[in-house]
Amino acid sequence: MKTRNIGPFTVSAIGLGCMNLSHAYGTPPPPEQGERVLLAALDSGVTLFDTAALYGLGSNELLVGRVLKPHRGRITLCSKGGLAGVTGDDGVRRRVIDGRPEAIRRDCENSLRSLQTDVIDLYYLHRWDKKVPIEESVGAISRLVEQGKVRTLGLSEVSAATIRKAHAVHPVTAVQTEYSLWTRNPEIAVLDTCREIGAAFVAFSPVARAFLCDALHDVSSLDAKDIRRTMPRFEPANYAQNLKLLPGYKALAQEAGCTPAQLALAWLLHKAPHIVPIPGTTSVEHLREDLAAADVKLSPDLLIRLEAHINQRTVTGHRYSAQARSEVDTEEFDPPV
């Protein structure tokens, strides 16, 4: 496996986003299947594993911690706080954004226990709680660094301006945001800001939530609890328009001598050396297909044609619902005229 750098860590050029194993896409696979995927990733050379307190309302960290504890010295372990499952007075566990220092400390302590580790290599603020100054939330994580509970600090779904404010308080090692051919928002300012401050950019949903895998043709088949049902791009009318992009996209993958999923990942790896994609999957077969993208070579001409074919002007629908957009701080392109 080729490698890239995230702060002081040398990691596999393609990491594993562990969310799919417990969260977001309908009924998760059984734990034994999740274990097979995690161990197959490890055996294939993956050294970057990304989880969060939110995923499965805590169950994903428990899975990752149990399976990877014996291999802790071989991996870079990442998790996130400030957005977690919190049990209310009624006993129901709910998703809560809370960037207060005391909440971040609580989330980190819970994550350390769940992950069965003494230290988290890269700890992200999962969402900026806009009721709390970013400097206060980042200050709380910096104190976790001082205490030896966290090695480095990251941010998720924030703007360039917020990154700079945070970086003034404590060095930002990585910024994680959705980035793929059909979600190009980081190109507005965040990618350049990361490069300028020496931070890595970690791209989640790099295969566009299976769209760029050519694996989802009928959105009516999605599980009732699948997160994509809330996303405008997957609304039936919008998705029908987006599906029209696939034939040309698949032709470009064939020209490149790779699968559609590999083309999406290879494109990210070609964009800049500080970008590290973290695709997720519940399938060992798909995992191995994804990892092979590290060896795909794309010509400059093909890259130009690929970017012209799928971009913010050719895709129909927002990436998030209005509610979800209100919870992030990322820049957005003006809607097409």
**Catalytic positions:** 55
Beta strand 93-97 pairing with 83-87: antiparallel
